[in-house]
Amino acid sequence: MPVPLDCSGAESQLSHTPLPVPVYFKEAECSFSIKKTRQPLSYTLPPRPHHKNTSTVSRIFSDRRLPPWSKLQPRSVSFHGLHKQKSLLHSHLYDASKRKLFFKQCFQKLSYLGRGSFGEVYKVRSHEDGQLYAVKRSVEPFRGEGDRQRKLTEVRKYEHVGHHPNCVSFVQAWEERGQLYIQTELCPGTLLQYCEEYGPLSEWQVQTFLWDMLQGLRHLHDRNLLHMDIKPANIFVSSTNVCKLGDFGLMLELDSGDLRDAQEGDPRYMAPELLRGEYTKAADVFSLGITILEIACNMELPNGGEGWQQLRQGYLPPEFTAGLSVELQKLLVAMLEPDHLFRPSVEMLLNSSLMQKTEKRRKLVLLAQSGFQQCVSMYKTVFRFMQWLWGALCSPTQWLLFWHPTVPVTPPHSPFLLPLENCN
């Protein structure tokens, strides 16, 4: 293309202006960043849009037969034995003649814990035993039998998990008026909330929490169960600082052999082989390794891009891991091995020298906590006995009446004595 000339015949000065060259800033090359101080996440959904009220289906089609799960009576949900979703829920506190829900009659709602795509969770106190629990209730009623069966699957998963000190315990589940209720043990918060409240954790705390989570994960893997969604938001911390695996909604059962409905969890914690459709126990080990890397280094995990790829290629940023011990770094490198065939199992990790030393310290702490709780319980028993004894000593008349009950006598000035007195 000819260069334009000006009026004097010389080349225009604009033709000598160099083309802009892109400049890459060093900040753009950094794929990892430290976590920023922020307010705790609420995990709430946006408010539902307003809609006009319409007549219910039962009013439009009065002769339509309603499904059995839409009846008013609460029905127990269980996949064990002969009680498979058939028995009515019974409680001496529940009055079927009232229109109040079983949930409202048998529990005291204390606070609202959160809400997700499946349901909303409440902190409650049971009127049966006075203990605190967490109850998750489905947000929307069942849209049909298929939706009902899909939601009830979580109950079966909880029952398959069973009881373990490092897994959130399942208590019971029931359905009432087309909604599912799941009652579990209550934990004060999640590991995500714990880290946001107390800041970066010490390495001793990280090692202790890692040992707790490996114990819970071994329990799942021994039953051929894959958690598939291990992350700080799904790890719960008890009042005694014991970590427990929870939220088993995406859990896979390898014994079923049907992985068509398998779903991946949070992409920040996802193992690379899941993108190829390979579901193995090693995927949970990778997710746990990413979780430990996050809480040990106070690192903001990338949601994608180059940093996401680097973590799945075995690269650990030295500017974050430099403060960790060599033993913990070796464990992280092994847990984040890109090839799942060479990734260590949970049993191998627990047999490592670091976890063996952590196990001894952890068991001593748990033993001390158990002894302290027993002392507190004994102190409360002795205190109640002393209160009763002091009350008995302060009122000896009641003490004597308690041990020597008197025969009822006719009180003075009784109308039954008046005729006898008049006779005299």
Residue 170 near residue 220, CB atoms below 8 Å:
no
| pLDDT tens digits along 82-130 | 455 556 677 778 888 888 899 999 999 999 988 765 789 999 999 999 9
Q: Using CA atoms, how far apart are residues 102 and 28, in angstroms rounded to an integer? A: 56
Residue 265 near residue 231, CB atoms below 8 Å:
yes
- DSSP letters spanning 132-174: EEEEEEESS---SHHHHHHHHHHHHHHHHH---TTBPPEEEEE
- Contacting residues for 47 by C-beta, under 8 A, at least 6 apart: none
Using DSSP, state whether 108 is helix, strand or coil. Answer: strand
360 is in an annotated binding site: no
Q: Using CA atoms, how far apart are residues 213 and 291, in angstroms rounded to an integer? A: 10
Residue 136 near residue 186, CB atoms below 8 Å:
no
**Rounded to the nearest 5 degrees, what angle is found at the Cα of 375, between the Cα atoms of 372 and 378?**
155
Using DSSP, state whether 125 is helix, strand or coil. Answer: strand
Taking only Cα atoms into account, the Rg of the chain, rounded to an integer number of angstroms, comes to: 32
Q: Residue 42 is encoded by which pair of tokens?
A: 């609420």
Residue 208 near residue 358, CB atoms below 8 Å:
yes
Q: Bridge-partner residues for 185, per DSSP? A: 133
pLDDT for position 81:
63
Q: Residue 289 is encoded by which pair of tokens?
A: 């390794």
Burial class (CB in 10 A: 0-12, 13-18, 19+), 142: buried
Could you tell me how many residues make up the chain? 424
- DSSP letters spanning 40-62: PP---PPPPPP------HHHHST
Domains observed in the chain: 74-185 (3.30.200.20), 189-363 (1.10.510.10)
Max CA separation in the chain (angstroms): 156
**Active site amino acids:** 229
pLDDT for position 68:
60
Q: Using CA atoms, how far apart are residues 88 and 78, in angstroms rounded to an integer? A: 11
Q: Bridge-partner residues for 23, per DSSP? A: none
Residue 299 near residue 36, CB atoms below 8 Å:
no
Q: Using CA atoms, how far apart are residues 4 and 15, in angstroms rounded to an integer? A: 8
Q: Residue 224 is encoded by which pair of tokens?
A: 């051929």
pLDDT for position 263:
80
Starting at the edge strand found earlier in the chain, the sheet holding 189-190 runs 189-190, 235-237, 243-245
Give the chain's residues under pLDDT 70: 1-31, 36-72, 81-88, 116-117, 257-258, 260, 396-424
